[in-house]
């Protein structure tokens, strides 16, 4: 990552507004999400001392057992965003349906979607987790949006970001003019820009995938990964390293920092659902961030951001990161089909 002049998130957003790249409502929206992420960061950081670890004893629409922090993070984001006047509605991985902003509050023109806590299987073992979010425009004339109004392709996103709660807390953001990273100064309570215009190297020798699913993948994925594993004596002519955190935010953050490719392909276990990762809360925001950093993102058969969503909780195969390596994976799929 390129070092940046250490300006605050607030100053960056004001400069973007003055440059005509965002309006005051979007600036406020991002500030509110960032503030909610600071609260989540505090909860995550307290760990066992805060009584926040372990299962909530409930399930979500994804068919997953919810962790206490899944529920806490969802509540923090809902509460923070309901009354700001910048949103028309919200949708979350943890909620069955989207929620319009209640009549009691002023409504704005944006729709906010989030994965409140990503990588939640890692909470109890003290490994990085995160929050992912995506912002869309509410269609003209719609005052009380329903699920169908959120079903817009990723190309229409006006902003996407994630926060990673790791050794430090970092917010990575795009409003469609590059991808920038901000580190939380815990003493001051501000996000400070620490990398401007992140560029993902076009080539890489590192990939991220859950290898335990290998036997369940489709044939082109099997062949592609077999060729990576064959190393410098194989068709790719170079040795590859592998990493898998099992928190998408942490895996994507590594790719933004030093390059790499991330895969969650279709496999026999998730075929009926269309994939494992969620288009609206995970794949689209991460793909926007990665493309804005010079990387690529695909389902293997289509540019991710051009997928027309058909359901709020729709799942997709995901391949993203260093653009030449994503192109290689896509080529294996095209040759097979
Ligand atoms: P979430 O915790 O929001 O449900 O997302 C988990 C996702 C993603 O963060 C990660 O890349 C993937 O699930 C890990 O899946 P495996 O456990 O199958 O490796
Ligand atoms: Mn989940
Ligand atoms: Mn997730
Ligand atoms: Mn989640």
Residues in the chain where the model's pLDDT stays below 50: none
Degrees, nearest 5: CA angle 117-118-123 = 75
Identify the pLDDT of residue 80: 95
Identify the pLDDT of residue 103: 82
Q: How many CB atoms lie within 10 A of CB 10?
A: 14
Alpha carbons 161 and 171: distance in angstroms, whole number: 7
The answer to whether 216 and 267 are in contact (CB under 8 A) is yes
pLDDT digits (tens, 9 = 90+) for 100-133: 998 888 899 999 999 999 999 999 999 999 999 9
The answer to whether 120 is a known ligand-binding residue is yes
Q: For residue 251, which atom of ligand 1 is closest to its CA?
A: 11
ipTM for this model: 0.98
Alpha carbons 183 and 189: distance in angstroms, whole number: 10
Alpha carbons 64 and 281: distance in angstroms, whole number: 15
Residue found under tokens 């806490």: 72
Candidates 332, 258, 213, 302; CA nearest to 2 is 258
Pocket probe mutation, ligand 1, options 56, 246, 249, 275, max atoms within 8 Å of Cβ: 246
Q: Tell me if 122 CB under 6 Å of ligand 1.
A: no
Task: Compute the distance from residue 248 Cα to the ligand 3 centre, in Å.
Answer: 6
The pTM for the full model equals 0.98
Identify the pLDDT of residue 114: 98
Identify the pLDDT of residue 5: 82
């Amino acid at each position: 990552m390129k070092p940046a002049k250490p300006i605050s998130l607030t100053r960056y957003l004001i400069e973007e507004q003055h440059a005509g790249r965002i309006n005051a409502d979007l600036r406020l929206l991002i500030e509110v999400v960032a503030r909610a992420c600071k609260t989540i960061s505090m909860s995550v950081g307290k760990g066992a001392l805060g009584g926040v670890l372990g299962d909530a004893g409930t399930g979500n629409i994804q068919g997953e057992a919810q962790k206490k922090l899944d529920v806490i993070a969802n509540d923090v984001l809902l509460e923070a965003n309901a009354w700001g006047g910048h949103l028309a509605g919200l949708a979350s991985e943890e909620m069955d349906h989207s929620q319009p902003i209640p009549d009691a509050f002023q409504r704005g023109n944006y729709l906010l979607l989030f994965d409140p806590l990503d990588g939640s299987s890692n909470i109890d073992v003290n490994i990085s987790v995160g929050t992912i979010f995506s912002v869309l425009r509410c269609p003209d004339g719609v005052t009380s949006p329903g699920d169908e109004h959120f079903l817009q392709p990723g190309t229409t996103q006006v902003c996407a970001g994630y926060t990673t709660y790791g050794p430090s807390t970092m917010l990575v953001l795009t409003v469609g003019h590059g991808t920038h990273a901000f580190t939380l100064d815990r003493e001051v309570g501000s996000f400070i820009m620490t990398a401007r215009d992140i560029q993902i190297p076009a080539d890489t020798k590192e990939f991220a995938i859950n290898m335990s699913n290998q036997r369940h993948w489709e044939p082109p994925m099997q062949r592609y990964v077999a060729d990576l594993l064959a190393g410098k004596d194989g068709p790719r002519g170079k040795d590859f390293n592998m990493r898998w955190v099992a928190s998408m935010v942490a895996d994507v953050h590594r790719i933004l920092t030093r390059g790499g490719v991330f895969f969650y392909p279709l496999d026999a276990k998730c075929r009926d659902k269309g994939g494992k990762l969620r288009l609206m809360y995970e794949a689209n925001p991460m793909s926007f961030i990665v493309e804005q950093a010079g990387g690529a993102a695909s389902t293997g058969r289509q540019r991710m951001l051009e997928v027309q969503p058909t359901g709020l909780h729709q799942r997709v195969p995901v391949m993203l990161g260093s653009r030449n390596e994503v192109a290689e994976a896509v080529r294996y799929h095209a040759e097979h089909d």
